[in-house]
Chain A
Amino acid sequence: MSWWKENVASRIRHYPGSMEVEKYVYTPGVHGLEQAKALKEGKILGSKCGDTIYVPPLTLCPDHKPGELVEVKGPWRVVTYTVITETMDGRKLEKPEVIAVVKPDDAEGGLIHRVESDQVYIGMEVEPVFKPEAERKGTIDDILYFKPK
C-alpha cells in the first residue's frame, strides 16, 4: 500500500478559480416590502405577535403566522457591543468602529448596527440617525448609525 508515496516527487498542481456572478438581487418579500417603505419614511417597524413586538419584524411569529406590523419608537438601548479596529483584510482603521445590538425598550430582539460613540456602554440610550430622505432606498443602511441620546 504505497500508492500515496509514488507521487511524492511529483509536484501537486493547483488551479486558481473563483465563484463569480455579476450580482445577486434579493427581493424584500411581501413582509419586507412594508418594512422598506417605512424605512424610507424614517420609521422602524416591528411585528406584533400576541403581546410581544419583535424587531426586526419577524417574517413569521412563533405560531408560524405572519404578525401585525407596528412602528417601534424606542427609547433604544445598547444590549451588547464590540469595537472594530481592523478591516476584514487586516488594515488598521483610522478610527475604531462600534458595532452594537440595539433594542427598543418596547420590543424583543434587536437590530445590529453602528453606534457613533467612543464612550459606549451596555444600557446606553441611543437613537437612530437616518440618511436624508432623498437618498433612502428602503434598506437597513437607510439608518446611518445610532447615536447617544
Chain B
Amino acid sequence: MSGGAERRLPGHYLKSKEMYSLPGLVEYRPVARYLFSAGQAQSRFLDGLKEGKILGKRCPRCGRVYVPPRSYCEYCMAPTSEWVELPGTGEVHTAVVSYISTFRERMEKPEIVAVIKLDAPGYTKGGYEFAGLFHKLCNVEPEDVISGRAIGMRVKPRWRPPEERKGDVNDIECFEPVES
C-alpha cells in the first residue's frame, strides 16, 4: 500500500442493526465461576484489615516495604520475613472523578478514586516505588480533584465498624482527609 487513499482496504463495516439481522449470527453467553485464593501474605493482610490494621511486609535485604504485602521481594527474590504495621496515614498520589460504572453506565453521583501513597516509616527506598493502595476518597469534592488541591492531600482510612468488617478491601470504607 503506497501512501494512501488510492487503494481501498479490505473489510466490511456493519451498522449495529445490520449485524443483528445477519443470517448465521451466533450469540452465546459464557458463565465462568472462579474461587480466587488470596494467598498467604494477602490473607494475613486482609485479616489485618478486619482488625483495623494496615499490615505490610519488609524485605530484609533492600528494606522495601510492600503494601499490599508480597511473600517475596520482587527485586531481591528474597522472602520478605518481617511484618510491619503501618500507621495508615498517607498522601494522595493521584485522584480522579468517575462518572461511569464498570460496565460504562452513567452514575448519578460521581465517585472519587485515588492512589494513596502510605506512610511507611523506615522505608529505605524512595521516589519511584512506594507502599500504597488503590481506593476511594470521601469528604473530597470533585472540585478538589480538578483544582489539584486533592493531590498530595494528607489522608487516613475511614474504617467500617468492626462488626461490619469482612476481611476484604471494603473494610476500609474510603480514605478521608486527616483534618476532618
Contact = CB atoms under 8 A, between A and B. Distances in A.
Q: Is the interface of B mostly helix, strand, loop or mixed?
A: mixed
Contacts of B32: 18-20
B19 to A, nearest CB: 6
A24 B27 contact: yes
Nearest to B83: A6
7 contacts: A4-B40, A7-B43, A17-B33, A19-B34, A20-B30, A23-B29, A138-B24
A26 B79 contact: no
B27 A23 contact: yes
Contacts of B37: 12-14
A23 to B, nearest CB: 5
Contacts of B168: 15
A27 interface: yes
Q: Which has the most chain A C-beta neighbours within 10 Å: B25, B35, B71?
A: B25
B23 A33 contact: yes
A11 B23 CA distance: 53
Given A21-B30, A24-B30, A4 B22 contact: no
A35 interface: yes
B41 interface: yes
Nearest to A35: B24
Contact of A13 (B22, B29, B42): B42
Contact of B26 (A17, A18, A26, A39): A26
Interface of A: 1, 3-4, 7, 10-28, 30, 32-33, 35-37, 39-40, 137-139
A27 B43 contact: no
A16 B42 CA distance: 15
Interface in B94-135: none
Interface of A is mostly: mixed
B27 A12 contact: no
B24 A137 contact: yes
B24 A4 contact: no
A7 B37 CA distance: 14
B44 A15 contact: no
A10 B44 contact: yes
A42 to B, nearest CB: 13
Interface in B7-38: 12, 14, 19-20, 22-38
Contact of A32 (B24, B39, B44, B81): B24
A11 B34 CA distance: 19
A10 B47 CA distance: 8
A28 B30 contact: no
A28 B12 CA distance: 12
